[in-house]
Amino acid sequence: MAKSVTRNSSVIKIITSTLISSTDDYVVGDSEWSNGCRSDLVLEPKSLSTNLPPIIIEFQQSVNNIFIKHAIEYALQAFKRYQVEPIILIICMNNLSSDVESLTKSSNILGCRTYPSHNWARNGNV
């Protein structure tokens, strides 16, 4: 249900305005990547000439190092497609492993933590 709610244009505006202070610039994109992986939701800029980053949204019961490796793969696939480093928003619904949590830092977004992206994404929020 959460995945379908985030496809609503009003929810997309809330997400994009919070993450990059922009509204009405994104549409739901293809979440199937060229390597056969699939993300929960990809928001892509309406115009690729704007250099706005794609936003990958993942809903995850548990976020651990294995899932972070999947997120890195999604980011690399997004960069191949859009030639812009993406933003990854991970919505952790249950458990954040201590090894991942120890690497997170406070975010300027209420209720979010940032995870170091080490050049595989523009920003990573958990």
Q: Give me the helices (H) in the chain, please.
A: 2-5, 9-20, 65-82, 98-101
User: What's the pLDDT at 7?
Assistant: 81
Question: For residue range 23-63, what is the model confidence (pLDDT) as tens digits?
Answer: 778 999 999 999 999 999 999 999 877 889 999 999 999 99
Mean pLDDT of the chain: 88
User: What's the pLDDT at 125?
Assistant: 59
User: Coil, helix or strand for 19?
Assistant: helix
Q: What is the mean pLDDT of residues 108-120?
A: 80
User: What's the pLDDT at 121?
Assistant: 61
User: What's the pLDDT at 117?
Assistant: 76
CA distances from 36 to 63, 77, 81 (A): 21, 10, 13
User: What's the pLDDT at 111?
Assistant: 84
User: What's the pLDDT at 32?
Assistant: 96
User: What's the pLDDT at 4?
Assistant: 73
Q: Domain segments of the chain: what residues? A: 2-125
User: Coil, helix or strand for 43?
Assistant: strand
With CA atoms as reference, report the closest residue to 80 among 35, 117, 45: 35
